Structure 1
Amino acid sequence: MKRTILAAVGLAGILLTQPATAEMIYRRGTAAAPDTLDPTKSEIQPAAFIIYDLFEGLFTLDAKGQRRNAVAASYELSPDGKIYTFKLRADAKWSDGSPVTAADFVYAWRRLANPKTASPYGYFVWPMVNGQEITSGKKPPESLGVEALDDHTLKVTLTKPTGYFLASLQHVALFPLHRASLEKYGESFTAPGHLVSNGAYMLAENVPQSHIKEVKNPYYYDAAKVKIDTVFSYPIDNQETEFKKFRAGELDSTSTLPNAQIKWAQENLKDAYIAGPTYSTYYLSFNLTHEPWKSNPKLRAALALAIDREVIAEKVIGGGELPAWSFTPPGNVGGYEPPRLPWTKQTQAERDAMARKLLAEAGYGPGGKPLPEVEVLHYTSDNARKVNVAVAAMWKQKLGVQTNLNNQEFRVVANIGNEKAYKDVLYYAWIGDYPDANSFLQLFRSDVEQQNLPGYKSADYDRLLDEANIQTDPAKRAELLAKAETLALESNSIITLHHNTRRRLVSPKLKGWVPNPTDFNLSQYLELTP
């Protein structure tokens, strides 16, 4: 009898009910482990993948990686361009069911500004009244130009019009915080069971060297539109390991793709291979707080000129990379096209000859000082290793300079860079925090301590950037930004290498994935089909 019922009725019941009740689980590789899930303190992209799931600011990213309204329902700007008034949506809630209010933003932004927090993004508050004075310890955080007029009205007062301010509000550093949980748990407020967030997901598990698990937030205002129930993020530094896990069906998306597997994936995994340019630059940074780099610009220039960027972009990496002639990526983002220095239009043979000449003028080589032995610190990655092996070979072949490669975990490299604790040269990458040249050029400011990896300082540069960012005329602003970037490039404090094309594998079952310059595809817009 039971068997007859199953055949006649049960099978139909299974077919009808299983899709509605089956949990939709998304498994992704995120490369490195997050540095922290604290939005105020986080700096690296692998953490941002998760934080964008857990939190929302006044704005967040849409399915195409563009800014969209989130907690902000609307805003008004005063005629003088200095006062923003944001109306917050009434249905925004924290994952414990309590309302998200303007006071939550005031609390979070004051914490960001507080020098005791030591946020790498403290400079994000500088446009606000007293922002810079607070981060330098000259004024209290309570004097920051942000005010809760009522639960759903946030007023922000800037010292002067700032062309990039609105764009910056999509960044995780400016997301709100749940004050009660932070004050109750202190620095452990990001632990599972402690973390109260306001995004599409909540934190369920965080197992070091294993995984981070997120589950849907039932109090999220758009919860009904969120298809994926559970997100597992796996930190996998080894790109070959990540590649194998995808092929074995253990991942639905990878963070990247090993260079050696690009051609194979293009031919054999056509439905899964996805590539697109990102708003990013890979570069080498000289430590200008150390000798011989601090006082020898000709030595820095010689090493910069000897690197064949076309070879690195097209042969060492391949897959559509672009050689980098500027720090800000090309493409007329926000109406800005970066400058190119005269030497970038020479042949590589001409650059090599100039490099040898500058090395001799710097006092190195026959009849001069012994050639320096350069240590390059880079993060653990097959692609990073191949790039730096190629750089070392070029320096040895063309200039006779010996290079030692030192690889460390990505989070370790980021911390060492921020502290200027690397010996000679650091290999790093920067992905724009928002679609504006200032997101890159701000890193060369004298008063940006942590993310200014070379420790570059120039009063003229700072002045040009300040003048640019109060300009309301886009053409004049772009002209001033280009002058500032030219100064920074001429210093040879960094060596730009290439602009990245992100190549990864995405399961054909994962719908809604859109390659975009910010390189973020938020889980809430994705869906897994059978």
Structure 2
Amino acid sequence: MTAPLTAVTRHLRRAALIGSLLLGASPALAEAVLNRGNAGEPQTLDQAHTSINIEAFILKDLYEGLTTHDAKGEIVPGAAESWTVSDDGTVYTFKLRENGKWSDGSPVTAEDFVFSLSRIEDPKTAAGYANILYPIKNAEKINKSGLALDQLGVKAIDAKTLEITLERATPYFLELLAHQTALPVSKASFEKNGTDFVKPGIMVSNGGFKLTEHVANDHLTLTKNEQHWDAANIKLDKVVFYPLEDQAAAVRRYEAGELHVNYNFSADQIERLKTLVGDEVHISPALATYYYVFDTRTAPMDDVRVRRALSMAIDRDFLAKEIYSGSQQPAYGFVPPGLPDYGAPSVADFATKSQLDREDDALALLKEAGYGEGGKPLDIEIRYNTNPNHERVATAVADMWKTAFNAKVTMVNLDVSSHYAYLQEGGKFSVARAGWTADYGDPENFLAMNTTSNVTFNYAKWSNADYDALMAKSNDEKDPAARAKLLHEAETILMKEQPVAPLLYQNELWLVSKKVKGWVDNANNEHPSRFLSIAE
């Protein structure tokens, strides 16, 4: 016969039952959190003032353009569910999603996009990347010549229909609309909060996630946006970005299991990491170029002979094989290979010579310019953003210039945000490290950087009338083969003048845990968190 339960016994059994139920339920209640190692602190989360990929990774989790990238890096519908294009390719009509909402529950409207695109081109905004949307009718005239904002070729037909008129047919326009510059801002939020619209607790976003915390130089926390039209298929509850500029520290945290994904790591760790974690090391081809830029405003870099000599003396094979352990390829053209309708890049005329012959030619050029033995001393400062790979490249290049020319070379490094801000704001320098990854799959994206009018990204402040004319003519050329010919002619001029010295065609280096599902390596280096999940 079972003894009757006392009140105390009944209480203990009830507590044990509740505890076991909670314990059994805990796996289902556990948050799905993705920890992402990013390569530095973003300058800003304002779409109008960003330009580098570590900012884009965050912004594209927070916001969604009219078009967006899927897990494969391919363009798919975003805030717009569909669109039509006029026969002449100049008028795009976008139908926004009826269930498209901002994170505060308000609808995403065509007027939000009119406001956002107008804000980018408004000269008062001083958006450094306004030029990427110049294909829109009157965008350049508004941004550079003061034409009224209401003349921009963007119109809200109704709350969910947006019409965009272009200056000319632009085959890659849908790719431009997925760029971080074209991401929308909530008009209501901006009018209420002004520049504070980027702050946690204030930011209203329309992407798969919303910003809940930002501790500078420590972490950014994003939580799932339940208002997103595809929220039911987003498997992550939270994404935490860690701005880890110290690559050794980032790798240690990855090895300790603190990070599920880490972007960029020291190339000298490739073989060790492959031995340790195998195929968690991802080396994926990218449409990207690693280059040095010369400030053409001051001597001696205003002399094409000096620029060519310095470029010739750089042993790119050594950089690719020894510094990057074979994970990058030597570059002699500015446009990376692999872009459709362009073919192989137009390379520098010294590309086929041996390194010894290049160095002999370089010495002769320097002597002709009045530098080197018996001439003026060559003093050079190399600027680069803090990163072990960039430091090793700078050290190697400095040694090459010292050996070849007896040059006096010093080095200066800044964090990634400060480095690019300095270049974009026109700071004076001698030689600086830079890199460019395609925003869209067209050579124009690389070559237009070096036009006289591109005040933001023409770090060299180089100007060549023939080059500018070819680039302008290519904008109006509708025949793909004829247009490619014009762009090749422009690249040939660029490589002859060497305001930029391409060093490497890049591969992207990632560490991706086996726990991460949905990851796809792609040339566009697009990895939106909404397509990823964690399997514990």
> What TM-score, normalized by structure 1, do the two folds share?
0.96
Matched residue type, 2:299: E
Q: What is the rounded CA distance, in whole Å, between the counterparts of 2:34 and 2:504 in structure 1? A: 31
- Report how many residues are paired: 527
What corresponds to 2:262 in structure 1? 254
Change (3 A) 1:415 1:13: closer
What corresponds to 2:450 in structure 1? 444
Q: Does the 8 Å CA contact 2:267/2:327 hold for their aligned counterparts?
A: no
* Aligned partner (choices 495, 520, 529) of residue 523 of structure 1: 529
Task: Give the C-alpha shift of residue 334 in structure 1.
Answer: 5.0
What corresponds to 1:353 in structure 2? 360
Map 1:312-461; keep pairs closer than 5 Å.
312-333=319-340, 335-368=342-375, 370-461=376-467
Structure 1 gaps, min length 5:
none
What corresponds to 1:142 in structure 2? 150
Q: RMSD of aligned C-alpha atoms?
A: 1.8
Q: Deviations over 1:406-436 (max 9, x none)?
A: 0011111101111221321110111111222
Confirm or deny that 1:86 pairs with 2:99.
no
What corresponds to 2:160 in structure 1? 152
Task: Give the C-alpha shift of residue 271 in structure 1.
Answer: 4.1
Q: What is the rounded CA distance, in whole Å, between the counterparts of 1:278 and 1:187 in structure 2? A: 34
Matched residue type, 1:517: A
Q: Does the 8 Å CA contact 2:102/2:228 hold for their aligned counterparts?
A: yes
What corresponds to 2:4 in structure 1? none
Percent of aligned positions with the same letter in both sequences?
Answer: 36
Q: What is the rounded CA distance, in whole Å, between the counterparts of 1:13 and 1:136 in structure 2? A: 62
What corresponds to 1:119 in structure 2? 127
Q: Does the 8 Å CA contact 2:287/2:338 hold for their aligned counterparts?
A: no
What corresponds to 2:488 in structure 1? 482
Q: Deviations over 1:269-304 (max 9, x none)?
A: 11421111111111111111222212x110110000
Q: What is the rounded CA distance, in whole Å, between the counterparts of 1:282 and 1:129 in structure 2? A: 33
**More divergent stretch after superposition (330-339 vs 74-83):** 330-339
Q: Does the 8 Å CA contact 2:168/2:476 hold for their aligned counterparts?
A: yes
What corresponds to 1:492 in structure 2? 498
What corresponds to 2:296 in structure 1? 288
What corresponds to 1:40 in structure 2? 48
Matched residue type, 1:409: D
Partner of 2:435, secondary structure, is strand
Q: Does the 8 Å CA contact 1:163/1:469 hold for their aligned counterparts?
A: no
Task: Give the C-alpha shift of residue 143 in structure 1.
Answer: 1.4
Task: Give the C-alpha shift of residue 501 in structure 1.
Answer: 1.5
Partner of 2:501, secondary structure, is strand
Q: What is the rounded CA distance, in whole Å, between the counterparts of 2:501 and 2:132 in structure 1? A: 25
**More divergent stretch after superposition (355-364 vs 18-27):** 18-27
Q: What is the rounded CA distance, in whole Å, between the counterparts of 1:200 and 1:124 in structure 2? A: 24
Confirm or deny that 1:212 pairs with 2:232.
no
Partner of 1:298, secondary structure, is helix
Q: Deviations over 1:66-109 (max 9, x none)?
A: 11110122222222222111121211110011111111111011
Structure 1 residue ranges (4+ consecutive) displaced by more than 4 angstroms after TM superposition: 1-15
> What TM-score, normalized by structure 2, do the two folds share?
0.95
Task: Give the C-alpha shift of residue 231 in structure 1.
Answer: 0.6
Task: Give the C-alpha shift of residue 125 in structure 1.
Answer: 2.7
Task: Give the C-alpha shift of residue 481 in structure 1.
Answer: 1.3
Partner of 1:365, secondary structure, is coil
Q: Does the 8 Å CA contact 1:164/1:469 hold for their aligned counterparts?
A: no
What corresponds to 2:61 in structure 1? 53
Task: Give the C-alpha shift of residue 195 in structure 1.
Answer: 0.4
Q: What is the rounded CA distance, in whole Å, between the counterparts of 1:13 and 1:41 in structure 2? A: 47
Q: Does the 8 Å CA contact 2:383/2:431 hold for their aligned counterparts?
A: yes
Q: What is the rounded CA distance, in whole Å, between the counterparts of 2:513 and 2:338 in structure 1? A: 29
Change (3 A) 1:267 1:101: same
Structure 2 gaps, min length 5:
1-8
